[in-house]
Amino acid sequence: MSAVDQTFDHENGLTVSFEFFPPKSEKMEERLWETVQRLEPIDPAFVSVTYGAGGSTRERTHDTVKRIAQETNLRPAGHLTCVSATKEEVLAVAEDYWQAGVKHIVALRGDPPEGMGARFEPHPGGFRNSVELVAGLRAHRPELGKCFEVSVSCYPELHPESQGWDAEISYLKAKQDAGADRAITQFFFEPEIYFAFLERARAGGVTIPIVPGIMLQPNFKGLTKIVGLCGATLPAWLHDLYEGLDEDAETRELITANVAAELCQKLADQGVREFHFYTLNRAGLALSTCHLLGAKPKTARAA
Ligand code: FAD
C-alpha cells in the first residue's frame, strides 16, 4: 500500500509536522531520505527544511525542499532568512519554490553567518527583519491574492536579543499583522512555559496558532552548549535524566522520545492539538514519539 492510501486519522485529533535539516554528505542524504520515507505515512500537516548561511548550504536546502515536493506526497515548507541577501535574491528563491509547487515558507530573520550570538547586520539591500520578510512574501505575486502560507518563529522563553515581554509580544503581533499564518515556538521542556507564553500572546492580540516546537535531540551535551544562545533553558530534572549516559546513545534516545511524548501529552491534556517536531533527521525518534502520542497511520493502529 502506498503512503497516499493510508488515510491519516489520528483518533485523538492531533496534527503533527516535522523539521529536517539539509544533508551535508551522501551518507546524511541517505539518512534524510530514509527519515522522509518512514515519516511520510504519518501524514504530517507539513515538513520543513532549515536554511543556513553559506551558498552551498542554501543550495542543499532548495534541492531538498524541491525534491520532497516532486518525489513524495508531503507538503514541504522552505525556511527562508534575511541573511546576506538582497530582497530580490530572497524573493527569487521564493519564486523558485512557487514554481516547484512549494507553497509554504517559514520566514525568519536568521542568525548572522558567524553563528548564533553574533550581532545581526541587515544586508544593505535586504529585508531588515522577519516582519519585513513576511510582508515581502505576502506582497509577492499580488495577482494571486494570497501567495504563500507563511509560518514564523516565536520564543516562549524570550529570544536572547529580546527587549522584554511587551516588545516580544508586540513584535510577534507585528509578524501576524504582516501576514503570518502560524507561529512555531523555539523548543522548551516545561508545559507551563508554553501556556504562560500563550496567555501573554493572546492578551497581546496574537490570534494565529502558536504551535509548540518539540526538540528530539538525544545529544544532551550538544544541547547544553547551545541553549543559552537560542532562547531556551534546560530544567535541572532533564540534566538528572541524562546524567551518566554520555557513552550510551541508545538509552539517551529512549529517554528523549519519552520526554518529548510526555511533554506533548501534558500539552494535549490542556487542549493543544498541533505539534512541530525538530527531528534532526532521526526517523526512529520522531516515529516513536508520534506512536507514544497515538499519532500513527491508520493501518498501523489496525494491525
Ligand atoms: P525575529 O523573530 O525576527 O527576531 C528575533 C528576536 O529579536 C525577537 O524574538 C525579538 O526578541 C527581537 N527583535 C527583533 N526585532 C525586534 C523589534 N523590532 N522589536 C522588538 N523585538 C525585536 N535559523 C536559521 O538560520 N535557519 C533556519 O532555518 C531557522 N529555523 C528556525 C525555525 C524556528 C521555528 C525557530 C524558532 C528558529 C529558527 N532559526 C533558524 C533560528 C533563528 O534564525 C534565530 O533564532 C535568529 O536569531 C532569529 O531569527 P527570527 O526569525 O526568529 O528573528
* Residue of 11, 19, 114, 274 with catalytic role: 19
1 has a pLDDT exceeding 50? no
pLDDT band of residue 302 (cuts 50, 70, 90) is: low
pLDDT band of residue 11 (cuts 50, 70, 90) is: low
141 has a pLDDT exceeding 90? no
Q: What is the pLDDT of residue 206?
A: 98
More confident residue, 299 or 194: 194
Q: What is the pLDDT of residue 229?
A: 86
E strand or H helix at 101: none
161 within ligand 1 shell (Cβ under 6 A): yes
Q: What is the pLDDT of residue 54?
A: 73
CA distances from 51 to 23, 60, 181, 217 (A): 11, 9, 20, 19
Sheet containing 47-49, strands listed edge to edge, beginning at the edge strand earlier in sequence: 210-211, 182-185, 149-154, 104-108, 76-81, 47-49, 15-20, 274-278, 213-215
CA distance 64 to 69: 9
E strand or H helix at 154: strand 149-154
Active site residue 250: no
Burial string for 9-46 (b: 16+ CB within 10 Å, else e) reads ebeeebbbbbbbbbbeeeeebeebbebbeebbbbbbbb
A 10 A CB-CB count for 228 gives 13
Atom 4 of ligand 1, residue of closest alpha carbon: 109
Percent of the chain at pLDDT above 90? 82
- Domains of the chain in start order, with CATH, are 10-302 (3.20.20.220)
pLDDT band of residue 273 (cuts 50, 70, 90) is: very high
- Substitution candidate for ligand 1 out of 81, 83, 90, 108 with most atoms within 8 A of CB: 108
Q: Could you identify the atom of ligand 1 that is nearest to the CA of residue 154?
A: 36
pLDDT band of residue 296 (cuts 50, 70, 90) is: confident
| pLDDT tens, residue by residue, 231-258 | 899 999 999 999 999 999 999 999 999 9
115 grid coordinates? 553563528
287 CA distance to ligand 1 middle (Å)? 28
Span 120-132, average pLDDT: 94
Q: Which of 118-122, 205-209, 279-283, 294-298 has the lowest mean pLDDT?
A: 294-298
37 within ligand 1 shell (Cβ under 6 A): no
186 within ligand 1 shell (Cβ under 6 A): yes
pLDDT band of residue 9 (cuts 50, 70, 90) is: very low
| pLDDT tens, residue by residue, 15-34 | 999 999 999 999 999 999 99
A 10 A CB-CB count for 98 gives 17
Q: What is the pLDDT of residue 4?
A: 30
Contacts of 10 (CB under 8 A, 6+ apart): 294, 295, 296
Span 70-82, average pLDDT: 97
110 CA distance to ligand 1 middle (Å)? 6
- Per the CB < 8 A criterion, the answer to whether 153 and 130 are in contact is yes
Q: What is the pLDDT of residue 12?
A: 67
- Per the CB < 8 A criterion, the answer to whether 298 and 8 are in contact is yes
